[in-house]
Amino acid sequence: MVPIGSKIIAHSLQRIAIVFNPFAGGLKGPKRARLDAAVETFRRAGREVELMPTTGPNMAGELGRVAIERGFDLLLAAGGDGTINEVLNGIVGSKIAFGALPAGTANVLANEIGLHCRPDRAAAQLLEAVPARIALGAFDSAGQPRRHFLMMAGAGLDARIVHELDLELKRRIGKLSYWHGGFRQLGRDMPKFKIRVNGVDHPAGFALLARVRNYGGDFEIARNIRLTDNDFEIVILEQNRFVDYLRFLFAVIGKRLHRTRGVTILRADRAEISPISDESVHVQADGEAVGMVPATISIVPDAVTLLLPKRYAER
């Protein structure tokens, strides 16, 4: 991590662009007033603010690039973790400061760093936040453009749930749609695959490459990683039967994953994932389906300037 210092917030980040998804669960209908209240908080603090709504899928990253071209000091993403991911993919490698106004389904980033999950309440925290230069993860697969991610990538069960997710159901019931997708996997075995970490091949039915402790807003799977680290905590479940996933889940809930048979936990800045059969193995990153294996997942250092609440940044 390269801390930049809280004085930058007070004196330099005067022009704020907010890219927002009008269809995010936390901004629809009367909840839109929460975003307007956040804007008012920034303006009362003397900031110039411009709202930049998305009008279709995959547009948030382009709006991020527009904000850079127009010379904004700070770019905020208002929406869920998917909107945050899209914006980040548009600004990787730039010097613009970036932050989140959480308004989505799971709000994993907000839960991780201690931001309030309502944008109107998170705004005041962001005025006091500390900018830090951090790494991102990257997903690379032949024939696809590189996809960056902030928080985590998963191969196996969670990626198949995301790949098959009923988006209409997600709009109606939010986070419960992921549980619904998980129960739909009952009785189905996942295809096994191979993950190479630090030069060693490991058989796997599930693998998580984490940059955060928080998983889905509900659990901690990787317990010793921080966004300010320059590597992944990699959690590998060797088996692929549904009963193995249940055993894994109970170990996570009981905080005994590190001593669970068939689970390997490693630290590394790179992993190569390969199939061992003709069955498709899906990959998700920050809760979005990004492709299939074979793939390489790696750390991109010094990738983005992220606003972090002081309590997180100073730990």
Cα distance between residue 152 and residue 146, in whole Å = 15
Please tell me the class of the 2-134+303-313 domain: alpha beta
pLDDT for 100-114, tens place per residue? 999 877 788 999 999
Q: Cα separation of 134 and 61, whole Å?
A: 19
pLDDT of residue 185: 64
Phi and psi, residue 187, nearest 5°: 85, -5
Distance separating alpha carbons of residues 238 and 305, to the nearest angstrom: 36
- Which of 1, 46, 11 is closest to 305 using CA atoms? 1
Q: What is the pTM of this model?
A: 0.88
Residues 250-263: pLDDT tens digits?
888 888 988 899 99
Quick one: which of 13, 273, 298, 286 has its CA closest to 135?
A: 298
Percent of the chain with pLDDT over 70: 87
pLDDT of residue 90: 95
- With 0-12 CB in 10 A as exposed, 13-18 as middle and 19+ as buried, what is 258? exposed
Q: Which amino acid is at 86?
A: E
> Does pLDDT of 123 surpass 90?
yes
Residue boundaries of the structural domains of the chain: 2-134+303-313, 138-302
Cα three-residue angle 116-122-128, rounded to 5 degrees: 120
Residue 107's pLDDT is: 84
Q: What is the rounded CA–CA span in Å between residue 26 and residue 22? A: 9
Q: What are phi and psi of 66, to 5 degrees?
A: -60, -40
The distance from CA 141 to its chain's CA centroid, rounded to whole angstroms, is: 19
At 15, give phi and psi (nearest 5°). -105, 115
pLDDT per residue as tens digits for the range 130-162: 999 999 999 999 999 999 999 999 998 888 877
Answer yes or no: same fold for 2-134+303-313 and 138-302: no
Give the architecture-level CATH label for domain 138-302: Sandwich (2.60)
